[in-house]
Amino acid sequence: MAAVLPAPSQSRLLLSGNEAVARAVWESGVRVAAAYPGTPSTEMLEVISTYPDIYSEWSVNEKVSLEVAIGAAFAGSRSFCCMKHVGMNVASDALMTLTLTGVAGGLVIAIADDVGLSSSQNEQDSRYWGRFAHIPVFEPADSQEAYEMTKAAFDFSEKFQVPVILRMTTRINHVKGLVTVGERVAHAAAGFKKEPARWVMTPAGAGKRIPLMFERDKVLRAEAEISPLNLIDSGTDKRVGFVASGPAWMHVRESFPDAPVLKLGFSCPVPLEKIRAFAATVEQLVIVEEVEPLVEGELKAAGIDCLGKEILPRQGELAPNVLKPAIAKLLGEPVPENIAAPAKVFPRPPTMCVACPHLGVYYTLAQIKNITISGDIGCYTLGAGHPWNALDTTISMGASMGIALGLDKGRGESDKDKRILAVIGDSTFLHMGMQGLLDIVYNGGNVTVLLLDNRAVGMTGGQSNPGTGRDIHGAEAPRVDFAKLVESLGVKKERIHVVDPYILPTLFKTIRDEIKIPEVSVIITDQPCVLVDDYKKQKPYEVIDEKCTGCGNCVDVGCPAIHVTRREKVVKPSGKEVELQFVRIETSACTGCTLCVQPCAPDAIVHADLTKPMRLVRH
C-alpha cells in the first residue's frame, strides 16, 4: 500500500483496534515494524505500512519479525512487532532470552488472541507469556484504549528497558470504534552501544542477568499497583464485585451497570494489593477473564477469596449472554430466559473461491486411493471439507513436512502400502516448511510434497511474501525460485515438477507417477490466487441443460459457482441405484478456469452467451 497523509491530530476516527494500534505506533515515533500475517492481527502491519517515517516489512515468520524488532530496539530505535497468538509460539525462543537483555529503544509486541476461534487452529491465552517471560502485559478493551495503551506501552518499555506485550483479542482487533488521535513525536535512534555483558547471552552472561530480571519483577509489580491503567469503578450494588480485563470488562459494565468493577489494564504482574483492598469492599469477588484462570489462580494463591472459572466458561468469549445467567445463578435470582430459539438452518462453512487453483489439486487428490495427506495452515486446509475430504492432518505452520515424515517412518502394518503426501502453500513453506523438507531429504523420507504456489498469503487477504516478487508496499522485490530452492535442499532435479493446476490430466499423471517412486518428490503448482492482481479472469461458462447427463463430475470439483438444479434417482443396467445431479453455472461468478469443463464427458459446459440477459440464482 502507498503512503497516505495521516489524519490530523484531534481527529475523531472510526478505527478498528488494529487501525488504532497502527496510528499509535506511528505517533509513538516507531522506526521499525515487522510481522507475519495472521488473523486477527494482520491489519496492524498492513496499516502501519501506509504511514510515512516507518520501515515496515512482512517477515518470513513471527520469530524473524520479533528478531528484526529486537535488533532495532538494540540499535536504540522504537520498534514494533505483532502476530496472532500462535505466532508467539514460533517467536517465543527469541522472547525468552530478550527478557534477560531487555531493550534500549522501546519495544512493544502486540499479540492477537483469537478468542472464539474465528480463524485459528486453537485458542490460547497469550497473557501466559507475560508470566513466563517476566514482562508486563497491557490489556485494552476497545479501539480507544488500544490506541492509548500502545502509546503508554512504548513509554513504559523505554523507561524500564523491558519489552511490553499488548494483549488483544479478536473482539478488539476487528471491532471499530471512535478514536481521538494525537500528534506524532519523533524518537531518533540512540545508536547501538557495544555492551557484550548485556547483549551477548552466553551462559555466564545470562546467569548474571537472571537476578536482575527478578529485581525488575519487583519494580514492575510496584508499578502495576499504582498504574492508572488499573481503574476502580466503585459501584453501588456491593453484592458482587468484578475484576475484569479486555473486552470482558466492556461486557461486565454493560451487564452490571451498578456493580463495583476493578478494571485490569496493566494485568501482569497482577496488582495483588490493589485487588485485595478492592475485595474487602464487596461481598463476593468474581474474576472475569478470557480464556484461562490466570489472575484467578494468582489471587487464590495470595489468599484472596474469589470465584472465576467455577461459574464461567474457560472457552470462548465472556459476553453478556454468558455473564448475566451466571451471576443471576450465583445470586439465586431467576435466570433470564432465552428469548427465542434460533431457527434450524444449514451450516455455511467457508469455501474455496470460484476458480481457486487449489480446486484442481483437491479434485485430483480425492480421486487417488490409498494415500495419507498431511496438510498445513492456509486456504488449502479447506481441502479437509466437502466434497474433497482430501486432507488427513493439520497441526501448525509448516508441520505438514515433519508429520509426513513421521507418518512415513512410523507406519504400521495397515499403512504399509499407503503413499504419504504433504500439501503446503508457498508462504507456509517459506515460514516454517522448508526446514521440514530438508529433514525429509536428509533422513531419506518417502514423501510426495505438493507445494501450492499461489503467489500470496491467501487466507489473510493476499499479502506479499518472498515468493511473490513484491514487498509490503507492492514494490518489486527479489522472488524465490521454488524449484531451485527445493533442489538446493537436496531434492533430485528429476523429482521436481512445476505443473499448472488447471490442467487436470497432467496434474493427475504427475501426482500418480511421483507417489509410486519411493523417495522425496516436490510438485509445484504455479497459478496465482484468484484474489490477487496477478489473476486474470477468462470468459465464463454455462451449462447446456439438454446436454447435461447429471453425472455430477463437475460437482466434485467443489467450485461454489456450480449449483445443482435437480436430483434424480435412476437404476443402472447393473442394478445399482445412482443419484443424478443436474447442474447450472452461476455465470456472473464464473471466471472461466475450465476445471469443471474438463471432467464433463457430454461436453455440456460451453462458453456463456453474454449477449443474453443474466439469469438470477434460483434454487
Partner 1 sequence: MSDNNITNILVVGIGGQGVMTATEILAEAAIALGHDAKKTEVAGMAQRGGVVSSHLRFGPKVLSPQIMAGTADLLVGFESAETLRWCHYLKPGGLVLMNTARLVPPVVDLGLYDYPDDPLAEIKERGYQVHAFDAMAIALELGDVRLGNTVMLGAMADHLPFPPGVLLEAILKRFSARKPHMVEINRQAFEAGRAADKAAQHKEVEPA
* Closer to partner 1 by Cβ: residue 77 or 120: 120
Could you tell me the smallest distance in angstroms from the CB atom of residue 540 to partner 1? 13
Could you tell me the smallest distance in angstroms from the CB atom of residue 76 to partner 1? 37
Q: CB count, 10 Å around CB of 365?
A: 21
Q: x/- string (CB under 8 A) for partner 1, residues 314-333?
A: -----xxx------------
C-alpha distances out from residue 409 to 372, 399, 404, 419, Å: 13, 15, 9, 12
Alpha-carbon distance of 296 to 310, in angstroms, equals 10
Q: x/- string (CB under 8 A) for partner 1, residues 598-617?
A: ----------------x-xx
Q: Which residue in 71, 116, 182, 592 binds partner 1 (CB under 8 A)?
A: 116
Residues from 355 through 414 that contact partner 1 (CB under 8 A): 379, 382, 386-387
Could you tell me the smallest distance in angstroms from the CB atom of residue 567 to partner 1? 7
Residues from 582 through 601 that contact partner 1 (CB under 8 A): 588
Task: At 549, give phi and psi (nearest 5°).
Answer: -100, 0
Q: Is the peptide bond before 291 cis (omega within 30 degrees of 0)?
A: yes
Q: Which run of H or of E encompasses 541? A: strand 541-543
Q: Which residue in 205, 461, 469, 592 binds partner 1 (CB under 8 A)?
A: 461
Q: Looking at 72-80, 89-97, 231-239, 561-569, which segment touches partner 1 (CB under 8 A)?
A: 561-569
Give CA 446 to chain center in angstroms. 30
Helix (H, G, I), strand (E, B) or coil at 150: helix
Alpha-carbon distance of 229 to 159, in angstroms, equals 16
* Closer to partner 1 by Cβ: residue 382 or 491: 382
Query: Which DSSP state fits 432?
Result: I
Q: Looking at 147-155, 217-225, 343-351, 485-493, which segment touches partner 1 (CB under 8 A)?
A: 343-351
| CB 164, CB 136: distance < 8 Å | yes
531 lies in the binding site for partner 1 (CB under 8 A): yes
Note the helical H segments in 286-382. Answer: 294-301, 320-330, 357-367
Task: Please name which of 178, 179, 173 lies closest in space to residue 37, comparing C-alpha atoms.
Answer: 173
Q: x/- string (CB under 8 A) for partner 1, residues 129-168?
A: -------------x--------------------------
* Closer to partner 1 by Cβ: residue 327 or 480: 327
Q: HSE, CB side, 13 Å, CA atoms: give it for residue 293.
A: 17
* Residue count, binding to partner 1 (CB under 8 A): 63
Q: Give the type of residue at 619.
A: H
Alpha-carbon distance of 36 to 137, in angstroms, equals 21
Listed in order, strand segments (DSSP E) in 118-175 are 137-138, 164-169
* Closer to partner 1 by Cβ: residue 155 or 568: 568
Residues from 231 through 290 that contact partner 1 (CB under 8 A): 247, 250-251, 253-255
Q: Which residue in 208, 537, 567, 602 binds partner 1 (CB under 8 A)?
A: 567
124 lies in the binding site for partner 1 (CB under 8 A): no
Helix (H, G, I), strand (E, B) or coil at 183: coil
Could you tell me the smallest distance in angstroms from the CB atom of residue 494 to partner 1? 37
Q: What is the C-alpha R_g of the chain?
A: 28
Q: Which residue in 7, 9, 53, 118 binds partner 1 (CB under 8 A)?
A: 118
* Closer to partner 1 by Cβ: residue 65 or 255: 255
What are the DSSP calls for 7-66, one per residue? PPTT-EEEEEHHHHHHHHHHHTT--EEEE---TTTHHHHHHHTTSTT-EEEE-SSHHHHH
Q: Which residue in 339, 369, 414, 569 binds partner 1 (CB under 8 A)?
A: 339
Length of the chain counted residue by residue: 619
* Closer to partner 1 by Cβ: residue 170 or 227: 170
Helix/strand/coil (H/E/C) assignment for every residue in 387-425: CCCCCCECCCCCHHHHHHHHHHHCCCHHHCCCEEEEEEE
119 lies in the binding site for partner 1 (CB under 8 A): yes
Helix (H, G, I), strand (E, B) or coil at 178: strand
Alpha-carbon distance of 50 to 28, in angstroms, equals 15
Q: Looking at 57-65, 182-190, 204-212, 555-563, which segment touches partner 1 (CB under 8 A)?
A: 555-563
Could you tell me the smallest distance in angstroms from the CB atom of residue 587 to partner 1? 11
Q: Are strands 496-499 and 541-543 parallel, antiparallel or unpaired?
A: unpaired
Residue numbers at the binding site for partner 1 (CB under 8 A): 12, 14, 39-40, 114, 116, 118-120, 142, 170-171, 174-178, 247, 250-251, 253-255, 319-321, 338-343, 345-353, 379, 382, 386-387, 459, 461, 531, 555, 558, 560, 562-564, 567, 579, 581, 588, 614, 616-619
